[in-house]
Amino acid sequence: MGSEEGESVSVRVTGEADVPFDYDVTSDHVGNLKVNETGDAILEFDVDEDAPKKIYQQGLEIRCTGDRDLGDDRVYTFNKQIRLEVTSSSSGSSSIPGFEALFSLLVLLLVFFFIELRKKEKER
């Protein structure tokens, strides 16, 4: 979001050595932005399994060219820091949302089924 139009806006990760992230996608093209318009950049990464739970500072470079309609052909770069928080380890857990609840329900149904089966066997 800025006070001037930006053409060919892109975002790139900088300073990767200081963080426990393995980036699959380190940059993204946002496109042209008008005054006070925002855009989204999607950067994909995995968190190292042994990463300590804490907040990490990640550097980003935002790059764009000036408004060519106004004769501004310069390239502008802005360095920003964002905060990425590692809250818990995902090792040993399922990547399917709700898997634990579904698995627990399945176990309860199996237990109920076996109890009912034993009751019927005792009645015979």
How many whole angstroms separate alpha carbon 78 and alpha carbon 83? 16
Selection from 11, 28, 25 nearest residue 77 by Cα: 11
How many whole angstroms separate alpha carbon 17 and alpha carbon 27? 16
Q: How confident is the model at residue 70 (pLDDT cuts 50, 70, 90)?
A: confident
Q: Would the pLDDT of 104 be above 80? A: no
According to the model, what pLDDT value does residue 75 have? Answer: 92
Query: Which tokens go with 26?
Result: 């380190």
Q: Would the pLDDT of 56 be above 70? A: yes
Q: What is the reported pTM?
A: 0.62
Q: Average pLDDT for residues 69-74, to the nearest whole number? A: 85
